[in-house]
Amino acid sequence: MDSTTTGVRRRFAGRFAISLALLGTVISIPRSVSAQPAHAASPWVLGVSNTLIGNGWREEMICAVRAEATASGKVSKVVVNDINGSAADQITGIRTLISSGVNAIIINPADHTSLNSVIQQAVQRGIVVVTVDQLVSSPLVYAAENDQVAYGRLGMQWLAKKLNGKGNVVVLRGIPGVPADTDRETGIKQALAMYPGIKVLNESYTGWQAAPAAKAMLDQLNAHTNIDGVWTSGTDYSVVTAFKTAGRPYVPVVGADNNEFVHQLLTLQSKGFEGAAVTNPAVIGGVGAALAIRVLEGQKVNRLTKLTPEVWDYAHSLSALQAHYNPKLAATYSVQFTVKGLTDYTPQQLIACK
């Protein structure tokens, strides 16, 4: 083989390698663009994925999404996928929302990890995904969280201090395996580690429903005569009523910012009842809608927005209790109506939602 032939082959090989490199560059551009498509112009359609029907807190959460959408003036419709179901059912519902052409989906997740794949599918189609109230492990979402670990910890700390660090308590939880319930249990354990004199007599699940909570409390009152306090996962007012039904003296009860529980805190003090409402605003749904709209507008938004609970009791937060109770609202209505700087609707717009 002569030197001329060798030189021609080397030049051809070099050109072929360059061509392959350029081809690889051309192929990679569409892949990166398709992974993050540009968002459509307003007006937008928002989707909501909810897995708990007949729960007043969740209904208010959805109303907050609607109120924020209306207040923005940039949303044409809110589509709600409302089911009583598992993470598998929620995945099916989210796929339905994706197919319907929504621009953003606000999800209250049924599970910490199971939704990650369907979330990725939504994001790849240019849909903004915001989880509210509870967290998922996917890095692709924007999240608005009521700090559930703090909720459990702050409530149990209040109860332990009220009992002077010693006593027997009943814990009424929510739904097993749901992120908020798991996180609240983590917070409870953190508090109990600081108060070894507090003993848990019993833990029961209530499904975050008033009637099962009342039955569970009555069962515990029939089984135990030494209950010194109760921590509830937001099924508070029915638990207080159970003590009256059983003819037993009140003990300190921890609950949430539910309208009737706030009323009990205001009116039963003279009858020996003490309690604390740990805020867990249902209007986290409105926060999620506001974040979704800001992302669609092209604004820079933090991946995580976390709300720290407040503790309201008669001794230290009387003005807050008085300002938030509304006799016209349902017992389960969460009475922290707005979140300053994160929602734009008025309390009247929220309450008017059907």
Task: Supply the pTM of this predicted model.
Answer: 0.83
Residue 11 pLDDT greater than 60, yes or no: no
Domains of the chain with CATH codes: 44-146+283-307+339-351 (3.40.50.2300), 148-278 (3.40.50.2300)
Span between the terminal Cα atoms of the chain, in Å: 87
Residue 31 pLDDT greater than 60, yes or no: no
Residue, of 6 and 177, whose pLDDT is higher:
177
Percent of the chain with pLDDT over 70: 89
pLDDT the model gives residue 3? 38
Residue 297 pLDDT greater than 70, yes or no: yes
pLDDT the model gives residue 186? 98
Residue 340 pLDDT greater than 60, yes or no: yes
The closest of 264, 330, 277, 303 to 63, measured between CA atoms, is: 330
Residue 23 pLDDT greater than 70, yes or no: no
pLDDT, tens digit, 9 for 90 and up, residues 107-161 = 999 999 999 999 999 999 999 999 999 899 999 999 999 999 999 999 999 999 9
Query: How far apart (Å, rounded) are the C-alpha atoms in residues 204 and 216?
Result: 7
pLDDT the model gives residue 38? 58
Residue 30 pLDDT greater than 60, yes or no: no
**Residue 40: band (very low, low, confident or very high) from pLDDT cuts 50, 70, 90:** confident
DSSP 212-252: HHHHHHHHHHHH-S---EEEESS-HHHHHHHHHHHT-----
